[in-house]
Amino acid sequence: MLGILYIMLNVLTGFAVCSLCLPKLSSFTRKTYFGTGIRLNPAALCFPLWYVTGAMLMTWCTYFTAYLASMCGSRKPLIIANAVVMLFFTVLDLLLITLSRRKKTLHRMKPYWSVFDGSSILFAAITFAFAALLMWWTFSYSDGELRVGISVFSDFAPHMGMIRSFSYGNNFPTTYSHFAGEDIKYHFLFQFMVGNLEFLGMRLDWAFNLPSAMCFAGAFCLLYVLAVKLTGRRLAGWFAGLLFAFRSSDAVFDYFAHPDEQIVAKTTRDKLPTALWKAFVENDKFIGTTTHEDWGLWNLNVYCNQRHLAIGLCVLLCVIILTLPLLFRQVQRIKFLIIDREEALIKEDPEFRLTALERAESAFSGSLLQKEGWLPRKYLRPVFLGVMLGMCSFFNGACVIGCLAVLLFLAVFSDNRLEYAITAGITVVMTVAATRFFIDGSVVKTKIQYGFLADLTTLAGSWEYIMTLCGILPLVLLAAFVISNNAQRSVWFAFTAPFILAFTLSLTKDVTVNHKYIMMSLMLLAVPAAYLLCKMWDLAGAWPKIICIGLLFVLTATGLYDFRTVLRRNDVDREGTYLVFRDDDPITNWVKDNATSQDIFLTPYYSLNNFVMGGAMLYYGWPYYAWSAGYDTDVRQVDVRLIYEAESPAVLVALVSELNIRYIVIDDDARSCNEYELNEDVIPITFEKVFEYGGTAIYDTTKRLESALYYEPHEDEPAIDY
* Concatenated DSSP letters of 308-350: HHHHHHHHHHHHHHHHHHHHHHHHHHHHHHHHHHHHHHHHH-T
Of 113-122, 156-165, 345-354, 390-399, the least confident: 345-354
Which of 225, 230, 228 has the alpha carbon at shortest distance from 491? Answer: 230
Nearest residue to 67 (alpha-carbon basis) of 166, 173, 169, 162 = 173
For residues 469 and 514, the answer to whether their CB atoms sit within 8 Å is no
What pLDDT score does 355 carry?
76
What CATH number has the domain spanning 584-710?
3.40.50
456/453 Cα distance (integer angstroms) = 9
CA distances (Å), origin 465, targets 97, 286, 353, 514, 560: 52, 18, 46, 15, 21
Question: How many CB atoms are located within 10 Å of the residue 655 CB?
Answer: 16
Per-residue pLDDT reduced to its tens digit, 641-679: 999 999 888 889 999 999 999 999 999 999 998 888 998
Q: Which of 502, 391, 436 is nearest to 185 (CA)?
A: 436
Distance CA 114, CA 97 (A): 21
Report the pLDDT value the prediction gives residue 464, as an integer from 0 to 100.
Answer: 93
Residue 546, Cβ neighbours under 10 Å: how many? Answer: 11
Tell me which DSSP letter residue 719 carries. P
* Mean pLDDT calculated for residue range 280-302: 92
Asked if the model's pLDDT at residue 522 lies above 60, the reply is yes
CATH 3.40.50 boundaries in the chain: 584-710
311-348 pLDDT, tens digit per residue, is 999 999 999 999 999 999 998 898 888 877 777 767 77
Q: Which residues pair with 691 in a beta bridge?
A: 698
d(CA 518, CA 500): 8
Q: Give phi and psi for 31, each to the nearest 5.
A: -130, 160
The pLDDT-based confidence of 715 (bands split at 50, 70, 90) is: low
Taking all residues of the chain, what is their mean pLDDT, rounded to a whole number?
91
* pLDDT, tens only, 64-73: 999 999 999 9
Outline where 570-716 has alpha helix (H): 586-594, 610-613, 623-629, 633-644, 649-659, 668-672, 682-686
First to last CA, the chain: 50
Q: Residue 507 pLDDT > 90, yes or no?
A: no
Alpha-helix runs per DSSP H in 453-541: 459-470, 473-483, 486-495, 497-502, 515-538
Q: Which of 109-113, 128-132, 315-319, 624-628 has the lowest mean pLDDT?
A: 109-113
Element (H, E) at 688: strand 687-693
Give the confidence band of 447 by pLDDT, cuts at 50, 70, 90: confident
Taking CA atoms, 237 is separated from 128, 223, 376, 473, in Å, by: 15, 7, 31, 17
Residue 268 has pLDDT above 50, yes or no: yes
When pLDDT is averaged across residues 254-274 and rounded to a whole number, the result is 80
Rounded Cα distance between 564 and 282, Å, is 11
pLDDT for residue 722: 47
Q: Using alpha carbons, list the distances in angstroms from residue 632 to 449, 624, 674.
A: 21, 11, 21
